Structure 1
Amino acid sequence: MIKLFSNGVYLINNKDIVEDCNEVNLILKNKIGDNYPSKEEAKKNTIAYNILKEHNTSENMEKLKIKFDKLASHDITFVGIIQTARASGLEKFPVPYALTNCHNSLCAVGGTINEDDHMFGLSCAKKYGGIYVPPHQAVIHQFAREMLAGCGKMILGSDSHTRYGALGTMAIGEGGPEIVKQLLCKTYDINRPEVVGVYLTGSPQKGVGPQDIALAIIGAVFANGYVNNKVMEFVGDGVDNLSADFRIGIDVMTTETTCLSSIWKTDNKIKEFYDIHGRVDEYKELNPGSVAYYDGMIYVDLAKVKPMIAMPFHPSNVYSIEELNSNLNDILVDVEKKAGISLDNKVKFTLRDKIHNGKLYVEQGVIAGCAGGGFENICDAADILRGTSIGSDEFSLSVYPASQPVFMELVKNGRIADIMATGATVRTAFCGPCFGAGDVPANNGLSIRHSTRNFPNREGSKITNGQIASVALMDARSIAATAANKGYLIAATDIDVNFTKPKYYFDKSIYENRVYDGVGKADPSVEIKFGPNIVDWPKMSALTDNLLLKVVSVIHDPVTTTDELIPSGETSSYRSNPLGLAEFTLSRKDPAYVGRAKEIQKAEKARISNESPIDAVNELDPIFTSIKEVFTDVNNKNTGIGSTIYAVKPGDGSAREQAASCQKVLGGWANIAKEYATKRYRSNLINWGMLPFVLEEELCFDNGDYLFVPNIIESIKEKKTSIKAYVVNKSMKEFELKLGELTDDEREIILKGCLINYYKA
């Protein structure tokens, strides 16, 4: 089904794969002749390389400085981004910037504050010259596909699922500060990423959908980091056999592999997509060169992929539905063991009570968002559901078309009526089911969803309140089959259905009538509308010569998601209030974190006010006594005091900058990790002036210990990658921290204390 090559490969004429080996030159000579390119030249023949080259403003293709064509943010992130940019000197949006409102669309939590954010966004679009997409019109990525994407273009978004590679657009999801840099006409600085080919061959079985292919790939590459921070480039004869919608459905899920970005070869089906959307001029054919070198290769036989299911609590926890149903009890036992690690065994979690007469019963189905809410997914689901009933028991089904144009066409062609007649409900475009703000199941409920993630709490439960529900990811077709089966799990390949495949017609008048397009029409006279929950960032201090860090949380999980660092769901209503949101930091993973961080922050606040840190936090007296026995020049002026957390591998999941900024607001100076799950989380730390330390040796400190890092400014300025530190509680025990590669700008940002300070300077 899926093969991972151990070495790099040459792809010849988009067809023949030659693995890099000792005899590779002889093989290439036999296939091509004497004029075969070198490995370095063949690397330049990937689609990804050429798009990056066109957007690189440096003269060095190893050290990229990228300027993007367009930007996109949603209402959980755009307020903080614009507030940061305003504080840093923003005058107008230099490129098209779309502000969509698809996350905080519901106004039931916190009074007016969600709609206040929306009005802030509209006023900023008018003042700075942007695009404003009102609530319920489109989820961010569907709008970008329909209105922003273009072959050979690059888009930067502040949502991790910013992926438009199927449409020939290299898109990257990053934390808000990277959007700020683009708004201030700065660059996205990164080492040239490796490119991994994804060779698709054959055609999917009837009933197999894009989510099935995506989950199979995620299951094969996540744990081993095969594509971590690399670009996935989709090639092969199998691409030709997939519709544009099908490709999009696979592409959006590449985020869950932890890759940096994705790109696909393009053809007439993609040209037709642009033509349907009135933007055929955005199309051009993209293909790798006749001999292209990839740093790895994922070979996927589409015909052998079966309907898949990602069990709680990660998209990589993948089984075929057939395998699950055949070994139900054994697999559920294994799922429960893995879940115990994710949940720290804080609540009782079982799925074996879902076994009814040897079958798995689920309480809910959801087809939604940037992954599930596409036209073809819903049409195929309607074909399966037509003439059936979802029943009147616990099982429910809700469907969210990804945009109003998609919704409109489904109304016109009758598919909405077919779905509603079964007892299912149809909603407007909203991302809530993907991050825990919509369709929350009952306690102990199991929801099957064609959405992007199934981390703990992504369905809205609260472990700290004793509530637990869970999500399994599936394709819309098998969700529909299960719905027609009254909630008993079944694969779409196990039913008889005629897929009608109606043609899609895009009605652009929907956006023309409602979306504000101010690109190129910035009006400085417009006053920004601020709601009472929209608060400026607090003042942040520059780095000091030395650091005293109290460890306020130690997380031993193999991976820590951004959802665990700052929960999604109802907390998103406070995303425009840095201090208010910070109160939720680690609340579902380590509820004592906030109190510990704020307690040690009292010492730093006292220090900044020229008061005694020891008077503010008495336990510091013996700590400073121990430090001064070795470092006699330590004083209140040259030694900052704050907090740090340790996590094995933090940062998987969302791009949201608040996973880092909330720690900073509470006095965090650093993270310490064995490694960072994603480039974007590490960048978020840096942009908020936090040190992204790596501890390669065994953990040598405990929660509550104090760590002293001397001469940190000197180390950063001298570009040292190895830093001496000390566990103060343990007789000044020395250990080593790694800092990793930093650009000159990143070093300066850390020295200044955060990106805002950097631009002010």
Structure 2
Amino acid sequence: MVTTLEHGCYLINGNTLVPDDAEAAAVLASNGVSEDAAKSAKENTIAYGILKEHNTSGNMEKLCVKFDKLTSHDITYVGIIQTARASGLEKFPIPYVLTNCHNSLCAVGGTINEDDHVFGLTAAQKYGGIYVPPHQAVIHQFAREMLAAGGSMILGSDSHTRYGALGTMAIGEGGPELVKQLLGQTYDVDMPGVVAIYLEGEPKKGVGPQDVALAIIGEVFGNGYVKNKVMEFVGPGVEKLSADFRIGVDVMTTETTCLSSIWQTDDTIKEFYEIHGRVGDYKELKPGKVAYYDGLVKVDLSSINPMIAMPFHPSNVYEIAEVNRNAADILADVEKRARVSFGDSIEYSLQDKIKDGKFIVEQGIIAGCAGGGFENICAAADILKGHFIGNDRFTLSVYPASTPIFMEVVKNGAAATILETGAILKTAFCGPCFGAGDTPANNAFSIRHSTRNFPNREGSKVQNGQVASVALMDARSIAATAANQGVLTPATEFDGELKKYKYHFDSEIYKNRVFDSHGVADPSVELQLGPNIKDWPKMSELPENMVLRVVSEIHDPVTTTDELIPSGETSSYRSNPLGLAEFTLSRKDPAYVGLAKEMRAAQDALVEGKDPIAAWGELKGVMEVIGKKFSGVNNDNVGFGSTIFAVKPGDGSAREQAASCQKVLGGWANIANEYATKRYRSNLINWGMLPFVIEEGELPFKNKDYIFLPGIRDAVKNKDEVIKAYAVAGDSITEFELKLGNLTDDERQIILDGCLINYNRVK
């Protein structure tokens, strides 16, 4: 179904694969490929060509990328603009779109969500941007409809910034990386590996894009096969897929932990641009005659069946038919996995979902950048036609990804078909994807065509004894399950007709409502700041020596950004750094905030010229132990802060707040065996935090121990490969080693200055 190659491969004429093994040279020669052509084949991928056009360094091994466009939504753009303002922003130098699809609802009461929206509108007017009001479109659908262009690059402050199917290489990063672009700086990254995603065959009836995506994720996530690489979709199977189908697969590439994605383009994509009135933005993209890839994922589309990603990760993948055959065993495995994350804090069981031998679910959701596409909704309507979802516990909600899509399904009758089943049709909103809409009942099981199913992602609160489960499925199988009134059902069991619907895009909808400055800034406009919108607090530069307290120790195999800073109702506080910080690790380690504040109090006292030991008395004994070995350490050359340990933190969202909240609480570092994503590590660096790596094995410290880092400032400045550290517990002090990994010169200076804001102020 989906297989990977252990090494690289060549692709000849877009169809012939030649593994890079002992026989490669002979096979290449027999296909008319010269030795020189083989040597330069790495430069013939689509990805290499696009990156070369956007690289400003002159060195294709060390990229300094400038993007064509930027995009953010309403839980990221306030912090980004506030950071850029603090660094001297006067005008958006490239098109910057501010969408409003996350805090569209006033989830916590009061005016704070709409205050953010007004801030966004006035920012677009003042700095020359584009403002998309709430309920008009989810961020990624607007980008597909209005921003994507063949061969271009877009940077977005949302992890699912993926427009590769349309020929746009897009990357989702934390807010500070957008700040750099707004200030004329670059996105600095080593040349990523490029992995061919070779598609062949054709999907069977009832199989949708989410099924293909989940099959790929299940194969490559666990082994990190495409981690921080570019996934390049090629092969004869591409032309068998509609534009919407390709888009649906592409958006889910984020869940593989790849850096970005790009697809070969053809007349199907050209037609997409024609439909949207932008045919001039189409560009044919395909690999060169002979292209070399660092890896190969081979996907036989015809062999893929309806899939389900069981709780609590998109990689926990099964065929739906397998779940129905072995529900008890698979649910027991989910419960076992849940105990790793939840511990004994909550009772969690799914065995009651099996009734009379059938797997029963309570909720279906088709929504957002993954599920809310035109073809997904029309296919769901075809499957639902003539059925009703029942009047028991099962519910179904459908969210078109944009108002133009909503209008079209109203015009073609799909909306009426869906509504008459008892399902609900709602406006464009990302809430169900991150826990701010359609939260299920306690212990309910929700099936969703959305992007993620991490713990707490659906809005439950484990610390309050509330937990629900989310599984990812394609819209087609969700509709089949809804037609069966909640009995888990693959769409391949649907024996009716899945029609082909023509899409007509109405551009007047956006012309009549979206504010577009066309790049013209109006400095006379005053930013409107609601009472919840706060500036970033002042942050200190990295001291000569550092005392860290370990304030959380997490041994889960992977820690998501949802666990570092919860989503859902907390999103409304993302315009208030100190207010939001109160939620840090609240659903994973509720003691964290209090422990971190104790160390922040010591650092605050130090900055104010007061005695840090008076602010946090436990430091007296710690400093005495350190002083016996390092006699020169005193208040003039030391800093105090906190750190967390996690095995593999940062999977999931691009949200910078996963790092910034730690920083404003006095965090100076993370310690990990590895980082799940580049974007989380970049967030740490941009907020002046040390991204330490420690070798796997027994830790030399435990939670609430202290770590002393002598000469840490010089170690960063001098690019030391190994950082000497000392664990302080009671009267003992134990030496161990940490590493920082590769850092650019600018990244080192950002850490030295204390954060990106300070770095830009110094510049």
Partner of 1:64: 63
Partner of 1:253: 252
Question: Residue 108 of structure 1: CA displacement?
Answer: 3.7
Question: Residue 519 of structure 1: CA displacement?
Answer: 2.7
Partner of 2:584: 585
Partner of 2:734: 733
Partner of 1:106: 105
Residues 38 and 290 in structure 2, CA contact (< 8 A), matched pair in contact too: no
Q: Distance in 1 between matches of 2:518 and 2:684?
A: 31
Superposed counterparts of 1:644-659, under 5 Å: 644-659=643-658
Q: What is the SS of the residue equivalent to 1:727?
A: strand
Partner of 1:754: 755
* Cα RMSD for the two superposed structures: 0.8
- What is the letter of the counterpart of residue 272 of structure 1? E
Q: What is the SS of the residue equivalent to 2:98?
A: strand
Partner of 1:11: 11
Say whether residues 1:419 and 2:418 are aligned partners. yes
Partner of 1:565: 564
TM-score (norm 1): 0.99
Question: Residue 345 of structure 1: CA displacement?
Answer: 3.5
Aligned identity (percent) is: 72
Question: Residue 344 of structure 1: CA displacement?
Answer: 2.4
Superposed counterparts of 1:280-299, under 5 Å: 280-299=279-298
- What is the letter of the counterpart of residue 25 of structure 1? A
Q: Distance in 2 between matches of 1:486 and 1:330?
A: 23
For 1:44-65, what per-residue CA distance to the aligned partner results, in whole angstroms no more than 9, with x for missing partners? 0000000000000011000000
Seen in structure 2, the aligned counterparts of structure 1 residues 34 and 118 have a Cα distance that, compared at 3 Å, is closer
Q: Distance in 2 between matches of 1:28 and 1:153?
A: 32
Say whether residues 1:544 and 2:543 are aligned partners. yes
Q: Distance in 2 between matches of 1:51 and 1:582?
A: 38
For 1:671-729, what per-residue CA distance to the aligned partner results, in whole angstroms no more than 9, with x for missing partners? 00000000000000000000000001521110000000010111111111210000011
Residues 107 and 436 in structure 2, CA contact (< 8 A), matched pair in contact too: no
Question: Residue 537 of structure 1: CA displacement?
Answer: 0.2
| 646-655 or 107-116: bigger deviation | 107-116
- What is the letter of the counterpart of residue 750 of structure 2? I
| 478-487 or 104-113: bigger deviation | 104-113
- What is the letter of the counterpart of residue 711 of structure 1? G
Residues 110 and 573 in structure 1, CA contact (< 8 A), matched pair in contact too: no
Residues 29 and 36 in structure 1, CA contact (< 8 A), matched pair in contact too: no
For 1:175-207, what per-residue CA distance to the aligned partner results, in whole angstroms no more than 9, with x for missing partners? 000000000010000000000000000100100
Say whether residues 1:52 and 2:51 are aligned partners. yes
Partner of 1:630: 629
Q: Distance in 1 between matches of 2:334 and 2:344?
A: 13
Say whether residues 1:718 and 2:718 are aligned partners. yes
Q: Distance in 1 between matches of 2:301 and 2:272?
A: 22
- What is the letter of the counterpart of residue 206 of structure 1? K
Partner of 1:743: 744
Partner of 2:692: 693
Question: Residue 38 of structure 1: CA displacement?
Answer: 3.1
Question: Residue 497 of structure 1: CA displacement?
Answer: 1.8
Question: Residue 33 of structure 1: CA displacement?
Answer: 4.7
Partner of 1:140: 139
Q: Distance in 2 between matches of 1:703 and 1:460?
A: 28
Residues 28 and 36 in structure 1, CA contact (< 8 A), matched pair in contact too: no
For 1:639-679, what per-residue CA distance to the aligned partner results, in whole angstroms no more than 9, with x for missing partners? 10000000000000000000000000000000000000000
Q: What is the SS of the residue equivalent to 2:237?
A: helix
For 1:403-445, what per-residue CA distance to the aligned partner results, in whole angstroms no more than 9, with x for missing partners? 0000000000010000000000000000000000000110000
Q: What is the SS of the residue equivalent to 1:54?
A: helix
For 1:521-566, what per-residue CA distance to the aligned partner results, in whole angstroms no more than 9, with x for missing partners? 1000100000000000000000000100000000000000000000
Partner of 1:228: 227
Q: What is the SS of the residue equivalent to 1:299?
A: strand
Q: Distance in 2 between matches of 1:35 and 1:108?
A: 62
For 1:253-309, what per-residue CA distance to the aligned partner results, in whole angstroms no more than 9, with x for missing partners? 000000000000000000000000000000010000010000000000000000000
- How many residue pairs match? The answer is 760
Q: Distance in 2 between matches of 1:671 and 1:751?
A: 16
Residues 440 and 468 in structure 2, CA contact (< 8 A), matched pair in contact too: yes
Q: Distance in 1 between matches of 2:345 and 2:260?
A: 36
User: Tell me, which stretches of 5 or more residues in structure 1 are unaligned?
Assistant: none
Q: Distance in 1 between matches of 2:61 and 2:517?
A: 36
Seen in structure 2, the aligned counterparts of structure 1 residues 570 and 108 have a Cα distance that, compared at 3 Å, is closer
Q: Distance in 2 between matches of 1:596 and 1:246?
A: 48
Question: Residue 373 of structure 1: CA displacement?
Answer: 0.0
Q: What is the SS of the residue equivalent to 1:672?
A: strand
- What is the letter of the counterpart of residue 614 of structure 1? I
Q: Distance in 2 between matches of 1:355 and 1:590?
A: 32
Residues 44 and 292 in structure 2, CA contact (< 8 A), matched pair in contact too: yes
Q: Distance in 2 between matches of 1:681 and 1:345?
A: 28
Runs of 4+ in 1 over 6 A off after TM superposition: none
Q: What is the SS of the residue equivalent to 2:44?
A: coil
Q: Distance in 2 between matches of 1:52 and 1:643?
A: 38
Question: Residue 338 of structure 1: CA displacement?
Answer: 1.0
Q: Distance in 1 between matches of 2:604 and 2:501?
A: 63
Partner of 1:321: 320
- What is the letter of the counterpart of residue 11 of structure 1? L
- What is the letter of the counterpart of residue 267 of structure 1? D
Partner of 1:28: 28
Question: Residue 34 of structure 1: CA displacement?
Answer: 3.8
Q: Distance in 1 between matches of 2:498 and 2:467?
A: 37
- What is the letter of the counterpart of residue 751 of structure 2? I
Q: Distance in 1 between matches of 2:496 and 2:159?
A: 35
Q: What is the SS of the residue equivalent to 1:26?
A: helix
Seen in structure 2, the aligned counterparts of structure 1 residues 735 and 697 have a Cα distance that, compared at 3 Å, is farther
Partner of 1:307: 306
Q: What is the SS of the residue equivalent to 2:720?
A: coil
Question: Residue 342 of structure 1: CA displacement?
Answer: 2.2
Question: Residue 42 of structure 1: CA displacement?
Answer: 0.5
Say whether residues 1:709 and 2:709 are aligned partners. yes
Q: Distance in 2 between matches of 1:713 and 1:702?
A: 24
Q: What is the SS of the residue equivalent to 2:606?
A: helix
TM-score (norm 2): 0.99
